[in-house]
């Protein structure tokens, strides 16, 4: 049997599909299982042992061209079954046009006419972790007790190469390597103030002589620049200078990752790196990173979680979290790395 899974569209969501993908592998141990996903996701799943291959969705100049390109790509492989993690109409249409016999997905976006096995959206969708939502598509009867951690493997070679890169940039490998993720691509409200990251950086330099590595997309360069100017200490600036595969390897080599609610936090947790995530307007119950060493920091204010992208008042959910509080958590989390 040949099975293809249409991957999720965001970094964090992609990581949260891992328990479902592993369950699929356990359910069909002899099948060939492929992930059909966007090019950036290859960096997340490069060393995944639960997949037999990754098919990349290469963008075209038009929406129609994109659909037809995907259809041709899937037809070549003659898949028997397609699971759809995205809820979009278009992803189901592609599967139907590709002639895949069995299409399984949630019955959303009026796409039920294309699905051989439409699955009803569970009533707990907005109350339980998103990983359970993806797992329920693969096995509707599964319970949250069957939810495994979304762990990812990174080869020793990739990890060593990442560490060599940091040392070349000036890192002292004998001191803690702490990565920061101060940005967020789709919400200003999710950002802990840049000046707080800068003060945290100073505390880590002064007390631990830590190496601070800045990670994020090109869109995060502005906030990273502010932190760089206010830190008064050396930072290894890699914001916008890595692809996702490189960032994943760097996170696996780091001793600690501290960030806002962002996709890289899910990756750091999945590769087993101690991870501190500062939550404000979003709901950690449904989208928190899952991993063996994850700590969530949030301030219980009356208006959170509001899910707004821009705070209309004083951003109290984030500004009331002090750098000293995060520093104390960092000390505790670094101890887990040495245990």
Query: What CATH number is associated with residue 108?
Result: 3.40.50.2000
**Both 135 and 162 in a single domain?**
no
- Gap between the Cα atoms of 337 and 318, Å rounded: 27
Q: Give the number of other Cβ atoms within 10 Å of residue 101's Cβ.
A: 11
Number of H helices, E strands in the chain: 14, 12
pLDDT at 72: 96
Host H or E run for residue 32: strand 32-37
pLDDT over 70 percentage in the chain: 98
Residue 266 within any structural domain of the chain: yes
**Both 162 and 285 in a single domain?**
yes
Q: Give the number of other Cβ atoms within 10 Å of residue 232's Cβ.
A: 12
What length does the chain have? 339
- Gap between the Cα atoms of 262 and 258, Å rounded: 10
Q: Hey, what long-range contacts does 331-336 have (CB within 8 A, 24 or more apart)? A: 332/295, 333/256, 333/274, 333/275, 333/276, 333/293, 333/295, 334/176, 334/208, 334/255, 334/256, 334/274, 336/274, 336/293
Q: What is the mean pLDDT of the chain?
A: 94
* CA separation, residue 213 to residues 43, 185, 282 (Å): 19, 19, 25
Q: Which of 94, 119, 146 is the last residue of a domain?
A: 146
Residue 16 within any structural domain of the chain: yes
Enclosing domain of residue 76: 2-146
Block residue for tokens 């204010």? 301
Provide the pLDDT confidence category of residue 146 given band limits of 50, 70 and 90: low
pLDDT at 89: 96
pLDDT at 339: 57
Provide the pLDDT confidence category of residue 144 given band limits of 50, 70 and 90: low
pLDDT at 149: 86
Residue 151 within any structural domain of the chain: no
**Given its phi and psi angles, is residue 315 left (phi above 0), alpha (psi -120 to 50 degrees) or beta?**
left
pLDDT for 178 beyond 70: yes
**Both 32 and 82 in a single domain?**
yes
For 295-330, what is each residue's pLDDT tens digit?
Answer: 999 999 999 999 999 999 999 999 999 999 999 999
**Both 334 and 296 in a single domain?**
yes
**Both 105 and 166 in a single domain?**
no
Residue 192 within any structural domain of the chain: yes
pLDDT at 148: 79
**Both 87 and 105 in a single domain?**
yes
**Both 118 and 20 in a single domain?**
yes
- Gap between the Cα atoms of 170 and 18, Å rounded: 34
**Both 120 and 174 in a single domain?**
no
**Both 163 and 115 in a single domain?**
no
**Both 109 and 182 in a single domain?**
no
**Both 100 and 124 in a single domain?**
yes
Please give the DSSP secondary-structure letter assigned to residue 7. P
Residue 222 within any structural domain of the chain: yes
What is the pTM for the complete model shown?
0.93
pLDDT at 61: 87
* CA separation, residue 206 to residues 145, 227, 234 (Å): 43, 16, 12
Domain count, the chain: 2
pLDDT for 122 beyond 90: yes
**Both 123 and 164 in a single domain?**
no
């Amino acid at each position: 049997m040949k099975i293809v899974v249409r991957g999720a569209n965001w970094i964090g969501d992609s990581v949260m599909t891992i328990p479902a993908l592993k369950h699929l592998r356990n359910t069909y141990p002899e099948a060939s299982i492929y992930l059909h996903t966007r090019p950036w996701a290859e960096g997340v799943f490069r060393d995944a042992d639960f997949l037999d291959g990754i098919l990349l969705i290469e963008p075209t100049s038009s929406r129609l061209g994109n659909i037809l390109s995907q259809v041709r790509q899937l037809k070549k492989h003659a898949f028997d079954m397609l699971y759809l993690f995205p809820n979009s109409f278009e992803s189901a249409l592609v599967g139907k046009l590709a002639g895949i016999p069995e299409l399984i997905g949630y019955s959303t976006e009026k796409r039920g006419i294309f699905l051989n096995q439409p699955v009803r959206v569970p009533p707990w969708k907005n109350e339980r972790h998103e990983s359970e939502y993806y797992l329920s598509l693969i096995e509707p009867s599964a319970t949250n007790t069957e939810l495994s951690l979304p762990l990812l493997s990174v080869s020793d070679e990739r990890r060593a190469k990442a560490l060599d890169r940091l040392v070349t940039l000036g890192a002292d490998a004998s001191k803690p390597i702490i990565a920061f993720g101060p940005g967020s691509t789709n919400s200003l409200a999710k950002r802990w103030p840049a000046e707080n990251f800068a003060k945290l950086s100073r505390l880590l330099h002064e007390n631990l002589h830590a190496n601070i590595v800045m990670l994020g997309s090109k869109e995060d360069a502005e906030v990273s620049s502010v932190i760089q100017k206010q830190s008064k200490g050396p930072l290894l600036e890699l914001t916008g200078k890595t692809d996702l595969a490189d960032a994943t390897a760097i996170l696996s080599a780091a001793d600690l990752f501290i960030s806002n609610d962002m996709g890289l936090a899910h990756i750091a947790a999945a590769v087993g790196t101690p991870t501190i995530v500062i939550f404000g307007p979003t709901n950690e119950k449904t989208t928190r990173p899952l991993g063996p060493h994850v700590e969530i920091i949030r301030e219980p204010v009356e208006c959170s979680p509001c899910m707004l992208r821009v705070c209309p008042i004083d951003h109290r959910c984030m500004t009331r979290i002090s750098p000293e509080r995060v520093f104390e958590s960092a000390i505790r989390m670094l101890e887990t790395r040495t245990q």
